[in-house]
Homo-oligomer: A and B are copies of this chain.
């Protein structure tokens, strides 16, 4: 059960512990293993990718590309409701990102001195979509739609293969409907290395985007530090969310928002700040009841262990905090 603490009741040490963010993962041993994987992919290309995919994903793949037939099959395998949900999400993400397109800027700062700022799409982008314990068609959409709006000429997407050699149907369908034609069944550090350096079958990209586990994050950090590698969006994770809610909030919605991030991983951390004791107790109860119905309840429950509901004096105090 998620703990409730009253901010004014705890001392400085407890406050600091409560606000400590989950540590970014990746110890030295992991970094070493990832460096070896990256090195193997750089040296042996597709051969290394096949060996690593056999060894780490337990599947023999001759060809990593998801074929046109596989894309069609993935879309057919989803219900009309599921495809509708994907299309609605694509449309919403598109609206918000199209509004962010930077207008070209041109001005004369001094007579005869014309200054311009011009945005160019990145030539080649690589999108990574995790699909281990939880496939993320949402991530495919949030990555592919901006790349489509920016009109990046080359857009490829890697997502891990399943034991039967296929990729997640919802991820494939979402990516293809969001405008990605080149999808590869490749996961983990080997996928990042393949996109950063290129192989015979995987094009080299300029920048890699997307979330991932500790291996993926370590590989992204590694290739971005190499001038011959690729730029990255940022090292991702662990997931965090902080909700501020007062007595008028719907406890079920607040609990669902907290659990949506808690279920990302056992190292996720979620916080609720509220000025209402009643809401605190109601959300605590809601989390328990929703947790019981979650597929990923074991993961979320672990994250909830080091998450907290904090009762503060008023909303202004919550914002300060």
Chain A: residues with CB nearer than 8 A to chain B? 24, 88, 92, 95-96, 99-100, 105, 107, 109-110, 113, 115, 117, 227
Contacts and interface: CB of A to CB of B under 8 A. Distances in A.
Given A24-B227, A227-B24, A96 B100 contact: no
Contacts of A88: 110
Contacts of A99: 105, 107
A96 B92 contact: no
**How many copies of this chain sit in the oligomeric assembly?**
2
Contacts of A113: 92
A100 B105 contact: yes
B117 A107 contact: no
Nearest to A107: B99
B109 A95 contact: yes
Contacts of A96: 107, 109, 115
Nearest to A88: B110
A227 B23 CA distance: 9
Contacts of A107: 95-96, 99
Given A92-B109, A92-B113, A96-B115, 8 more contacts: A24-B227, A92-B110, A95-B107, A95-B109, A96-B107, A96-B109, A99-B105, A100-B117
Contacts of A24: 227
A95 B110 CA distance: 10
A227 B221 CA distance: 14
Interface centre among A24, A96, A113 (most CB of B within 10 A): A96
A105 B95 CA distance: 12
A88 B96 CA distance: 39
Nearest to A110: B92
A250 to B, nearest CB: 13
14 contacts: A24-B227, A88-B110, A92-B109, A92-B110, A92-B113, A95-B107, A95-B109, A96-B107, A96-B109, A96-B115, A99-B105, A99-B107, A100-B105, A100-B117
Nearest to A96: B115
Nearest to A98: B107
Nearest to A109: B92
Q: Pick the 8 closest A-B CB pairs, nearest first.
A: A92-B109, A96-B115, A95-B109, A99-B105, A96-B109, A99-B107, A92-B110, A100-B105
Contacts of A117: 100
A149 to B, nearest CB: 14
Interface centre among A95, A105, A109, A227 (most CB of B within 10 A): A109
